[in-house]
Every structure is written in structure tokens, then in C-alpha cells.
Amino acid sequence: MTVLQELARLYERLRKQGNAPPPGYSREKIGGEVVLDAEGNVLAINDLRSAGEKGRLQPREEAVPAAFKRTSGIKANRLWDKTSYALGVTAAEDDDKNPVPDINDKTRKEHRAFVESHEALLAGTNDAGLGALLGFMRAWRPEMFAERGFDPELLGVNLVFRLEGDEVDGKRRFIHQRPAAETLLQGGAEAPPARCLVSGEEAPVARLHPAIKGVAGAQSSGASLVSFNLDAFTSYGKAQGENAPVSEKAAFAYGTALNALLAKGSGRNLRIGDTTVAFWADVPERGQASDAEWLMGQALDPPDEDAEAGKLATLLKDVAKGRASAPPEFAPDTRVFILGLAPNAARLAIRFWRPGTLGDFARNVLRFWEDLAQEPPAWKRPPAAWSLLYETAAQRKAENIPPRLGGDLMQAVLTGTPYPRTLLAATIARIRADHDINARRIALIAAVLRRNFKEKVPMSLDRNNADPAYCLGRLFAAYAYAEHSYTKRSATLRDKYMAGASASPAGIFPLLMRGYENNRSALLKSGDKRRNFGVKADKAVSEIIELLDGAANLPRSLNLEAQGRFFVGFYHQWNAFFEKPDEAAEAAAENNDLTESEGASQ
């Protein structure tokens, strides 16, 4: 089924469970309530916010009549809105940066639109609550806010209305929750019917589709997943939503479900590069769906604690193999869905769509972790895909991650298909630029070589591997180790020659050999422990030269995957020179620090 169909089905499940608003409603952040008497006089404006994690007041989410899109112009919401619309007042600041009421031409126009739309909507109503709201429209003046000393801290928040004393089962009821209000909202003029592409039913078509919020990089007010807003999109006289007919009911359903997935704190979304990933399980019972979604979230972003990470890996293996030891709520045949979204101007682009089963998901995640395996491990715990992307970015900053790479990587992880070639290119480019050959980057290179090129990349030093690129990487590491053991230079071999050696070995290695002979001779003549370093380097060089058949015919150039093997060979040989992995990393960092500090002093 399509993305929209599955999201619409998710909405129906959420609605039955009481976790989604009814049709025509949406969950919005509400900061306060206006309490009215039967004639529409304002008795109080109460704060509905509560203290958040950092002590700051946070609005609460309420199901209210669905918000209208306000990309431009003035459009009032029904039975609720922000203070500039509902009261005709917004917030300004005094000299001490405190909020004070502000009434201007814009707020007057917005409040007038709010009043006029509600006078038309509520005309002829016999409901007490709606009648009180109609009375408010006729009696309220924006100046009353300051005259009556209402709290200026509430200026700018969204407000709902409540009739004094209106309660159901001891709980206060807002005017938009009254049955008469729900009936009134559902009785508007309907659009012409057409065959809905989502449900297959003949139904009124949505002219505009709902705004989707929570996608990183998109407009904070929301962006459209389906949109036709230019003349070029008009075909055979059909404009906007008529181009791809989706019923108002289906559009509301998929938009509500997707916004629920993307809501902050839902536990069913995460960000990978420029892609926001939403995921969910197709299980009738909400509790079982939550368990499956918890497992998916944990697998995509593993916990930091060793014990919890170990339990997660064991559970994924049980689910992947269909073992009886896996709890029933993690049934391997549970249908799951993963959707990747990215901003695209005022719209959203679908980077990937992956329907499947929980068992398939577990197998693909485990395969991803296996692709990254090496000794010693690059991570103490299984890595999250998003964390790998920082190794491809300049200065390891999120904004420097190559575009589309996050979505392409995630698709490969979830489907078991080849990794994007840009992952290998970007990783090698960063090594050539900053000369940092760390465990994480080598794990990435090895993963691409294993999956994309079916190569048996060793997890640690393979002394019998005669691949020329791997051997040349080892040889470069031996030369760099001899230099490091003999003297500390501001510009090391890694700084000056690594990029050239990995791409054009024939032009660089003869020069490196001459330099190595000088370092080797000095080390072997030393009377201290440096002589042992020279012996260790010399033994490795002799071993590697033999594998290269005397190094008589060095490759003139290495392609991208061969460069990957070069850096893997370098990393393996460099670590083999040291007793502990930490020592190898410290030695590499020592060279980098020396280069940076001396370069800064020049």
C-alpha cells in the first residue's frame, strides 16, 4: 500500500485507541482559556500552561478545530486562536523587556476577521456555549485587556473559550468540545466529490492538504507533503488538490497520523543528517505497537549503557531468527513501516519508504552492525547510523554532512541494499583533508567494501594479504611509524604525502623509501629503546616488500575502493606497532596536535 494509505490506516487505529482527535480537529498548543458568562462577558483569562523540564512554562496540547494554513494573508481559526485574533491584542516590550499589550492595525484586522467569521458561523445557534461566544464577539473590545488588568504574560499564546460552570463528569469542558460545536463544524459546504486515491471512495476532495510539522529544516509552521500551488500544476482545468484527488477525510487522517509520529517526545522519530525518519508498527493493540516501536527506536539509536546495549543486541538476534525466547510482543511477522522525509522548499520530499516486518528490520540492522565489525571494535556499543555521518563532515558539524547522505545511508541500512557510494567518497575525502584515520572511519570504509564490492576485508592486521593497495597502506604506516619513533616534525609524512600516496603510489613511494632509509639507519644506531622501534619497522617493511614482489611495479593510481583498502591497511599496520589501541590513537593525535600548534605559532 502507499504511504498515504498506511498513514490513514494508522490514524484509524489511533482514533479507536483514543490517541487521535476526531475528523476536523487537530492537536495544537494551547496556553490559556477565556471564561465567559452566558451573555458573553469575559469573567477571566486563565493560564493553562505548566512548568516544563527546565522550569519554563509550556502550553498544553489540546484537540481543537483544525488550524487553517496561514502562509500569507489573514485567516481566523474556528473557536480558538492566538490573542491577536481572539482578543485583538498582541505582545510588545517595555523598557525593561517586560511584555505589555499592543494594539495595532494588523491586530485590529485579525480580530475583525475572527469576529466576522464567527458571526457568520454562529448565526442562529441555540446552544448556550455557542451563544455565549457569539455574545463575546459583539461585546469585546481589544482595549479591555489592559483596562481590566489581564496577565500580559498570556499575550501571543493560543486561547480557547469556556462557558462558566460547563463541566462533564467533573471535568471542565471547552466550547469547541460541546456536541453542538462538533455538529456545526461538520456541517460546512462540501467540495465536489471525486474518487479518492487513498480510500477508493467517492467523497469531497481536499483542496489543500494538511501542514506537516516536526521535519528538521522545514518551516516551523509546517510544510505540505502534497501540494499544487502554481499555474504549471493546473491540468485539464483541475487546480490544487483536484490534480491528485484525496478526500478531505483521508487527507485529515494521514496528516494527523504523521504529525503524531513527528511530535516531540513521541519516541517514533529521529533525525539522520538532513532526513527526519518516522516509524511505526501495525498492531491493533496500542501497547503491543508501543513495544515494537520501542525496539525499532532502540535499534536505530542504541542506548549508551553497556548492559542495555547487550540486551538490545540479544533481543534483535532473537527476533531476527524467530526464536521462542523473544517475547510475543516482538513477533517477527509484525508489519512495520519506516518513512524518511526531508525539506524541499515549502514542501516535503520522501527520501525513502520502507514497509516490511519486524524480523526483516532486525536482520538488516544486525547486518549493518556486522558490516562495521573490526578488532578492536570502533565502538563499545552498537552505533547509531546518524552518528556515523559526522565522520564525513568537515569539523564534524551536522550542517556540513553531505546532502542526501543521511537518507541514502538509512535506506541502505533498512533494506540491506548497497551503501551509497558517496559514503565511501566522503569518508576518504575527510581523511585526505584532515589526515585523521580513526577506527570509525575505517569501519565505514570496510562496511562499504564488504557490502558493495563483496570484499573480505580483514577485521585486524592480515599479514598474508597481498592486495597491493592494502600492502601499500601498511607500508606507508611503517614509514610513518619510523618517522614518529625517530623525531617529531611539524609536517609529518601523513601531512605531506598521505593524499598523494593513497591516490598515486608510483610517484610518491620512491621518495618515501629514501626518507625511511635515513630514519631506519638512525633508529638502528640508537642505543636506547628507539632501536627496538627501528627493528620493528624494518621487519614490517621487509615483510610488506616481499608481498609486493619487491615493489618493482607500483600502481600508477588507485581507484576509490582501492584507496579504501589503502587506508584500512594503514590503520591495521599502525595499530599493530603499538601494544594497546589507545597508544596508537594517542600517537596519531600527538602528531596532529604538534602540527596544529607549530602551524599556529608560525
307 has a pLDDT exceeding 60? yes
Q: Of 308, 338, 368, which residue is a domain's last?
A: 338
Task: Write down the pLDDT at residue 590.
Answer: 62
Give domain status of residue 402, yes or no. yes
Task: Write down the pLDDT at residue 558.
Answer: 95
Alpha-carbon span 123 to 78, nearest angstrom: 14
Other Cβ atoms closer than 10 A to 464: 7
More confident residue, 225 or 190: 225
Residues 133 and 223 in one domain: no
Q: Of 338, 366, 391, which residue is a domain's last?
A: 338
63 has a pLDDT exceeding 60? yes
Residues 202 and 181 in one domain: no
Torsion angles phi and psi, residue 220, rounded to 5: -65, -25
Residues 547 and 521 in one domain: yes
- Per-residue pLDDT, averaged over 324-345, amounts to 89
Give domain status of residue 19, yes or no. no
- Per-residue pLDDT, averaged over 435-459, amounts to 95
Task: Give residue 243's domain range.
Answer: 193-338
Residues 582 and 483 in one domain: yes
Residues 365 and 327 in one domain: no
Other Cβ atoms closer than 10 A to 430: 22
Task: Write down the pLDDT at residue 415.
Answer: 92
More confident residue, 240 or 361: 361
| Weakest-pLDDT range from 29-38, 104-113, 264-273 | 264-273
- Per-residue pLDDT, averaged over 414-424, amounts to 95
Residues 290 and 383 in one domain: no
Q: What does the angle CA 487 – CA 476 – CA 440 come to, to the nearest 5 degrees?
A: 100
CB–CB of 109/163 below 8 Å? no
More confident residue, 55 or 273: 273
Q: Where are the alpha helices (DSSP H) in 231-357?
A: 248-262, 286-300, 306-321
Task: Write down the pLDDT at residue 585.
Answer: 72
Residue 547 pairs with which residues in a beta bridge?
A: none
278 has a pLDDT exceeding 50? yes
Task: Write down the pLDDT at residue 551.
Answer: 60
pLDDT tens column, 342-398:
998 778 999 999 999 999 999 999 999 999 999 888 888 888 999 999 999 999 998
Residues 264 and 309 in one domain: yes
Residues 392 and 444 in one domain: yes
Give domain status of residue 457, yes or no. no
Q: Is the dihedral of CA 356, 359, 363, 366 positive or negative?
A: positive
Give domain status of residue 70, yes or no. yes
- Side chain identity, residue 55: G
* Coil vs helix vs strand at 179: helix
Give domain status of residue 3, yes or no. no
| Among the listed residues 257, 269, 276, the one whose alpha carbon sits nearest the alpha carbon of residue 293 | 269
- Per-residue pLDDT, averaged over 555-579, amounts to 94
pLDDT tens column, 458-498:
999 999 999 999 999 999 999 988 887 776 666 788 889 99
- DSSP states along 92-114: EE-TTS-EEEE--HHHHHHHHHH
Give domain status of residue 162, yes or no. yes
Task: Write down the pLDDT at residue 370.
Answer: 95
Alpha-carbon span 134 to 118, nearest angstrom: 7
Residues 59 and 156 in one domain: yes
Residues 30 and 150 in one domain: yes
Task: Write down the pLDDT at residue 550.
Answer: 65
Mean pLDDT value across the chain: 88
In the chain, the number of structural domains is: 4
188 has a pLDDT exceeding 60? no
C-alpha distances in angstroms, 526 versus 460, 512, 515, 517, 579?
A: 31, 21, 17, 14, 21
Q: Of 185, 214, 230, which residue is a domain's last?
A: 185
Residues 448 and 553 in one domain: no
